[in-house]
């Protein structure tokens, strides 16, 4: 899980954050980071989920990665 307490992601951008080349940084990024991360996680049969609030209180974003266990693998 990766989280921050920044301004959050506005509703109009939430559906686009995993698109290639989408960025709100005005030329300071390639817009490929989340797209590459999501693609790698999918190739491993996992899921990348996002939760973000852009309200003035309790704002921020959280990205969680879920990967399956290999057959016979245990967590502990």
Tell me how many domains the chain contains: 1
First to last CA, the chain: 19
Q: What is the domain range of residue 34?
A: 2-66
Measure the CA–CA gap between 9 and 13, rounded to whole angstroms: 6
Domain of residue 60, CATH code: 3.30.565.10
Measure the CA–CA gap between 76 and 56, rounded to whole angstroms: 40
Query: pLDDT at position 74, please?
Result: 82
Rg (CA), the chain: 15
Q: Where are the beta strands (DSSP E) in 1-76?
A: 2-3, 47-53, 60-66
Tell me if 75 is assigned to some domain. Answer: no
Tell me if 34 is assigned to some domain. Answer: yes
Tell me if 74 is assigned to some domain. Answer: no
Tell me if 19 is assigned to some domain. Answer: yes
Q: 3-61: per-residue pLDDT in tens?
A: 999 999 999 999 999 999 999 888 788 999 999 999 999 999 999 999 999 988 889 99
Tell me if 25 is assigned to some domain. Answer: yes
């Amino acid at each position: 899980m990766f989280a921050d307490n920044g301004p959050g992601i506005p509703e109009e951008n939430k559906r686009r954050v995993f698109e290639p080349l989408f960025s709100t940084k005005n030329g300071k990024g390639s817009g490929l980071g989340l797209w590459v991360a999501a693609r790698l996680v999918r190739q491993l049969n996992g899921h990348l989920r996002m939760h973000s609030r852009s309200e003035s209180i309790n704002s921020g974003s959280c990205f969680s990665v879920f990967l399956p266990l290999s057959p016979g693998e245990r967590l502990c």
